[in-house]
Amino acid sequence: MKIRSLFTAAVLLFACSALTGAAGDETWMDLFNGKDLTGWSGVHDVDFDVHDGNLRLVKGMGWLRTDQLYDDFILEFECKALVEGYDSGIFIRAGLEGKPWPDEGFQINLKSDALGTLVRGYRPMIKSTMEPVPVNEWMKFRLTAQGEEASLQINGEDVWEADFIEPERGLIGIQAENRSFEFRRLRIHETGYIDLLEEDGGQFKHLEVHVGPKEPWSLQNGVLTCDGEKGGWIGTKDGDFSDFILKLDYRVPKEGNSGVYIRTPKGGHGSSQGMEIQVIDDDAQHWGKLEPWQLTGAIYHEFPPAVRATKKAGQWQSMLIQAVKNQVQIFVNGVQIIDADLNENEALKDRPDSGHIGFQNYDGQIEYRNVRVKRIEE
C-alpha cells in the first residue's frame, strides 16, 4: 500500500525535515509520562514501576508493551543498566503471541556483550560492534523504521541498517529478563500522520461541530473534551476520508458513552448513515445489560468485538481503526477485536465508502487525545 498525507508541498518539506530531527518537539509524542504506566501493559511475569521519574524494570521474565500499535516511526529513548551482566531489549512491530516474549517482530538487544544487535526471535540478524556501556551510565538510542527499512543509532553513532523489517505494524515493548534497568525520555515521531486536534489561532484546524451545540466541546492541553447533555457530534472539516488508519486515546468515565464516526456524511448520523465505532464503559449498568454489539470497539449494532480488550472506566485507553475498501479492522489497547468484511453485512455493504471522521456527544463527559490519521491509497 502507498501512503499519502493531507499536507501541501510546503508541509511535506517540513515533515521531511522532522524525520531528520530538524523539527521541534511538536512532532513528537511521549510514550512515558514520568508518573505512572499509563499507555503500557505488562505481559507475563514482569515487575515495572516508576522511580524518580524514570520507568524502571525491576525483574521478571516477560515484557512491558505499549497499548497502541505503530508502523512507521522514529523512536528515541535513554536507558541505563543497574546491574552487571545486564540483559534486556526493545521490541518493535511485535505481536502478542509467544511466551515469555513475542514470537513476531524484532528486538534491539540491550545485552552487555551484544548491545544494539538486531534479533528476530532468538536469532541475531545483524550483530552490533558496540562496546559495552558501564553500569549506571545513560545510553541514548534512536531507532527509525520506515516500511521494511530500519536503522539504529546509539549515542549518536550509526550501528546498523536493515531492509527486511516485517510485519508492517506492531507493538513496541521492553523485555524483562531478570536484570534491572531504567528508561527515560521515551518518545516517538510517527511518519505520515496528521494531528486532527491541531489548533490554528485558537481554533480547530481540522474539526468542526456538525450536529448539536458547540459549547460542550473544548480543547485544552491537547485533550478534546465533551462535557454536556447528549446530542450531536464534532468531526473533520474534510469529508473525503475513505481508506485510512485512525489512532487515538480515549478516556470514558464510569457509565460514560460516546463513539467514533467514520465515513459519515456531513451532518449525518454515524450509526445509521456511516459507521459508529462504539466507545463506552463496558461495565455500565445505566442501560441494563449491554449487548455484545454495544461494547467498546463494536461497529455499532452490526459487528461485536471478538474479545473484551478494555480496561476499567476512568483510565486512558488506546484505539486503532483501519478502513481499507470493504475491510475494517479495529484494535483496542493493542488487541485486535474486529476484522469485518462490510460486504458480508446487509446493513453496511451499501453505506458510503467515504466521509467524515467524528466523535459523538452522547452521555456525560468523554475525552480524546493523540488523535491522528494517515490516509492510505493503493
The 3-class SS string of 77-132 reads EEEEECCCCCCCEEEEEECCCCCCCCCCCEEEECCCCCCCCEEECCEEEECCCCCC
The verdict on domain 2-190 having CATH code 2.60.120.560 is yes
pLDDT of residue 287: 87
Q: Is the C-alpha dihedral spanning 79, 162, 150, 9 positive or negative?
A: positive
Listed residue (37, 71, 27) closest to 174, CA to CA: 37
Q: Which residues pair with 166 in a beta bridge?
A: none
CA–CA gap between residue 161 and residue 146 (Å, rounded): 11
- Tens digits of residue pLDDT in 11-26: 333 333 333 333 444 5
User: Interior CA angle at 339 toward 333 and 344, to 5°?
Assistant: 150
Q: Residue 13: what pLDDT?
A: 34
- The single residue listed with the C-alpha cell 466521509 is 355
Q: How far is CA 357 from CA 74, 102, 269, in A?
A: 26, 33, 12
Phi, psi for residue 16 in degrees, rounded to 5: -65, -40
Tell me how far apart the terminal alpha carbons of the chain are, to the nearest angstrom: 5
302-338 pLDDT per residue, tens: 999 999 999 999 999 999 999 999 999 999 999 999 9
User: pLDDT tens digits, residue range 261-309?
Assistant: 999 999 999 999 999 999 999 999 988 999 999 999 999 999 999 999 9
Q: Do 356 and 365 meet the contact criterion of CB atoms below 8 Å apart?
A: no
Stretch(es) of the chain classified as CATH 2.60.120.560: 2-190, 194-377
**Over the stretch 169-224, which tens digit does the pLDDT of each residue have?**
999 999 999 999 999 999 999 999 999 999 998 889 999 999 999 999 999 999 99
Rounded Cα gap, residues 276 and 357, in angstroms? 10
Cβ contact 145:165 at 8 Å? yes
Region for 156 from its dihedrals, namely left if φ exceeds 0, alpha if ψ lies in -120 to 50, beta otherwise: left
Class of domain 194-377: mainly beta
- Position 225 pLDDT exceeds 80: yes
**Model confidence band, residue 2 (pLDDT cutoffs 50, 70, 90):** very low
Q: What phi, psi does 14 have (nearest 5°)?
A: -65, -40
Above 50 in pLDDT, residue 9?
no
User: What type of residue is 261?
Assistant: Y
pLDDT of residue 15: 38
Tell me the pTM: 0.92
With beta carbons less than 8 A apart as the criterion, state whether 63 and 173 touch.
Answer: yes
Question: What count of residues does the chain have?
Answer: 378
Q: Please give the Cα distance from 150 to 51 (Å, whole number).
A: 31
**238-261 per-position pLDDT tens digit:** 999 999 999 999 999 999 999 999
CA 215/CA 78 separation, integer angstroms: 42
Angle at 251 between CA 248 and CA 256, to 5 degrees: 125
| Average pLDDT, integer, range 147-172 | 97
What is the rounded CA–CA span in Å between residue 199 and residue 175?
A: 37
- How far is 140 from 119, CA to CA, in rounded Å? 19
